[in-house]
Amino acid sequence: MKCPICESTKLISLYKVSDLPLFQNKVYNSPEEAIKQKEVDISLCQCNECGFVFNELFNNEEMDYDVNYQNEQNYSSYFVEHLNSVADYLIENGFQEKNVIEIGCGKGYFTELLEEKGFKNIYGFDPAYEGENPNIIKDYFGEKYKSLNADLIILRHVLEHIENPYLFLKQVQRSTSGCAKILIEVPSFEWIVENKAFWDIFHEHCNYFDKEFMSSFFSNAETKDVFNSQYFLTLASLNEIKKPSSNKKYSENLFAISLNKFNNFLINHLPLAIWGGSSKGVTLLNIFDKDKKIIDCCIDINPKKQNKFTATTGHEVISPERFFSNYSNTSASKYNIIVANQNYFSEIVNQYGGSGVNFHSLEKLLIG
Ligand SMILES: [Zn+2]
C-alpha cells in the first residue's frame, strides 16, 4: 500500500479494527436486513514521509450514498447552533454578497440556512439531493460549472470521505476562477486522539486531518476550532494549493487502553442503552455488542432513524419517548445510558435528567 498523497510506502500503523459496517449511517427496516450488511476491516495508518493519516483498507468503489443514508444532525439544537456559528463566520469574512457554492450539500440544510441569512448567490451541489430547491444541482461540481464564477467554495464534511484529498482539491481549483476561496470543515483528528475517541474511526471516513496537516494544503490558511473542538474550519485561497506535508507524528496503538477501559465499564453497568444512532453510537455497538447481549437499544431523536435497525448489529433505534415508556420503567434496576456525543450531553440531561436513569458521557468515562 502506498500513501495516496506522496506515494511513500513507509506507513506506520496507528489502530486496527475488524468487522465494522461499510456504512454506519445507513439504517434498515428489519434486524435481518441490518445484520446481513457488508462488514469491513479498518487499518488506520500514518505516512512516515508526509504525515497523512488514512485508512489503508478503504475501498471507494463500494461507497454508494443512497436513500438509506441518514446523516442529518440538525434535530439537535446544539448542532443547529454550530451551523449558525459557521454561517456567521462566513458573514464576518464578507461572503454574503459573493458567489458561493457548497459541494456535497446533502439534503441542503446548510445551503438553505445561508439563503435565509441573506446570501444571494448560493448554489448547492449533491448528486444524491432529493429536494425541490432550484439552487441545488443534482450533480458533481466540476469544470463545466466554472462559469458560475465561485468566490467561495464550501466543503463541509466532504474531504474526510475522499480517497485522494489533494487531487480532489486540485480539481475544485481548476473548476473555479483565480481568486476563489475555500472553507473546509472536517472532524479534528487531534480531538479524536486527545479524547481517545476510537468510536470516531469508521469506514465512511477514509482520512483524518489535524490542523497542521490541513493548513499545509495551502501556502496560507486560517483555522478555527468549532463544535467544541470536535471539528475545525480552514479558510484559504484555492490558488495557493500545494502538496501537503506535516512533521507531526502520532504514536502506535493509539486506543489500546481506552478499548479495555470501555469494555469493563459496559459489562459492569447493565442494563444499558446507547444514546445516538449515528456514526459514534453505531461504531460502538459494532465493536462491543455485535451479538446484542449488552446494549438493549439505541435512542435517537432523528425520526428518520427511529423504528429502524443499526448496520450489521441490528439494534433497534427508538425515540426517547418510547424508551422511557417501554424500557426504563420495565427494568428492576436503574438503566444506564451512554451518550455517544459529549456535545449533546447537556441538552439531553436537561430534557430527560429527571427520568430515573443514569446518563454517562463517553469522554468523561475515558478521560476522567
Ligand atoms: Zn505520504
Note the pLDDT of residue 284: 94
Ligand 1 midpoint to CA 212 (Å): 14
Domain encompassing residue 318: 256-367
Note the pLDDT of residue 71: 67
Who's near 105: CB < 8 A, 6+ residues apart?
Answer: 111, 124, 125, 126, 129, 136
Residues shown for the chain: 368
What is the distance of C-alpha 212 from the center of its chain? 19
Whether residues 233 and 271 share a domain: the answer is no
Cβ atoms of residues 125 and 105 within 8 Å? yes
Q: How confident is the model at residue 253 (pLDDT cuts 50, 70, 90)?
A: confident
Average pLDDT, the chain: 93
Whether residues 223 and 152 share a domain: the answer is yes
DSSP alpha helices (H): ranges in the chain? Answer: 31-35, 77-92, 109-116, 165-174, 189-194, 211-215, 256-267, 279-288, 320-326, 345-352, 362-367
Cell triple for 159? 474531504
pLDDT digits (tens, 9 = 90+) for 75-89: 788 899 999 999 999
**Does 251 fall in a domain?**
no
Note the pLDDT of residue 67: 62
Whether residues 92 and 233 share a domain: the answer is yes
Categorise residue 104: left if φ over 0, alpha if ψ from -120 to 50, beta otherwise. Answer: left
Ligand 1 midpoint to CA 245 (Å): 8
Note the pLDDT of residue 30: 97
Domain count, the chain: 3
Ligand 1 midpoint to CA 165 (Å): 12
Cell triple for 363? 469522554
Amino acid identity of 358?
Answer: N
Amino acid identity of 223?
Answer: T
Whether residues 190 and 234 share a domain: the answer is yes
Whether residues 51 and 106 share a domain: the answer is no
Q: Is 287 helix (H, G, I), strand (E, B) or coil?
A: helix
Ligand 1 midpoint to CA 207 (Å): 12
**Does 69 fall in a domain?**
no
Cβ atoms of residues 95 and 151 within 8 Å? yes
**Does 291 fall in a domain?**
yes
**Does 50 fall in a domain?**
yes
Ligand 1 midpoint to CA 9 (Å): 8
Whether residues 227 and 270 share a domain: the answer is no
| Residue 181 belongs to domain with CATH number | 3.40.50.150
Ligand 1 midpoint to CA 5 (Å): 5
Ligand 1 midpoint to CA 49 (Å): 5
**Does 1 fall in a domain?**
no
Whether residues 267 and 207 share a domain: the answer is no
CA atoms within 13 A on the CB side of 320: 14
**Does 250 fall in a domain?**
no
Note the pLDDT of residue 238: 97
* CA distances, 297 to each of 39, 276, 357 (Å): 20, 10, 14
Say whether pTM exceeds 0.85: yes
φ, ψ of residue 11 in degrees (nearest 5): -115, 135
Ligand 1 midpoint to CA 140 (Å): 27
Pick from 240, 273, 299: which residue ends a domain? Answer: 240
Ligand 1 midpoint to CA 47 (Å): 5
Who's near 221: CB < 8 A, 6+ residues apart?
Answer: 214, 215, 234, 235, 236
Whether residues 90 and 209 share a domain: the answer is yes
Pick from 210, 240, 270: which residue ends a domain? Answer: 240
**Does 247 fall in a domain?**
no
Whether residues 200 and 275 share a domain: the answer is no
Who's near 49: CB < 8 A, 6+ residues apart?
Answer: 3, 6, 8, 10, 245
Could you tell me what percent of the chain has a pLDDT over 70? 97
- What is the DSSP code string of 242-281? --------PPSSTTHHHHHHHHHHHHTS-SEEEE--SHHH
Whether residues 271 and 217 share a domain: the answer is no
Whether residues 170 and 225 share a domain: the answer is yes
pLDDT digits (tens, 9 = 90+) for 118-153: 999 999 999 989 899 999 999 999 999 999 999 999
Ligand 1 midpoint to CA 190 (Å): 18
Ligand 1 midpoint to CA 16 (Å): 19
Whether residues 23 and 133 share a domain: the answer is no
Ligand 1 midpoint to CA 226 (Å): 27
**Does 334 fall in a domain?**
yes
Cβ atoms of residues 52 and 3 within 8 Å? yes
Radius of gyration of the chain (CA): 21
